[in-house]
Structure 1
Amino acid sequence: GPHMTEDFSHLPPEQQRKRLQQQLEERSRELQKEVDQREALKKMKDVYEKTPQMGDPASLEPQIAETLSNIERLKLEVQKYEAWLAEAESRVLSNRGD
């Protein structure tokens, strides 16, 4: 609904923590995929540079640039969710009121 927040702070602490954990894992997976993709593209570009008849290395530049910006974006997302998760976990702990 309208009360949805990106950091799930509208949820009870335990649930919030679970949801943030899921988001974090999802982003981390995506990030890993982009990193792998970029590695693959760079290897391909090396091949093209050594054997130009295989393909044009310049043609890979746009894709490499795109994976790079995806990596940057996802790194920020991961950091954001890590910070929110840390807050959520301290909320969970303080709620238990040892």
Structure 2
Amino acid sequence: MSEITPDLVRHLGVLARIQLSDEEVERLTGQLDVIVDNIAKVSEVATPDVPATSHPIPMQNVFRADVAGEMLTTQQVLQNAPDAADGRFRVTAILGEEQ
């Protein structure tokens, strides 16, 4: 027996605030039923002795160690800035502007 019925699809449409035509309800009923059946098939195969996998190839972190290095001075950082004041970048205020 099918788990997905036209009434269930209509109900889901109401919950999602989507107006569905009768043709869409029929089409979605079939599509959602196929999806639920496929999920059930995958669930049958997924047993406790089969480890969950997020990637087919084992991966490892390839990042370098986070070690502080030479720092730029404030003057070096701001030397090419279009506008600066009090050791900071100066930018145009955007708060309150209409978008």
What is the TM-score with the length of structure 2 in the denominator?
0.31
- For normalisation by structure 1, the TM-score amounts to 0.31
Task: Say which structure, 1 or 2, has more relative contact order (CA 8 Å, 6+ apart).
Answer: 1
Rg bigger for which structure?
2
Higher fraction of helix? 1
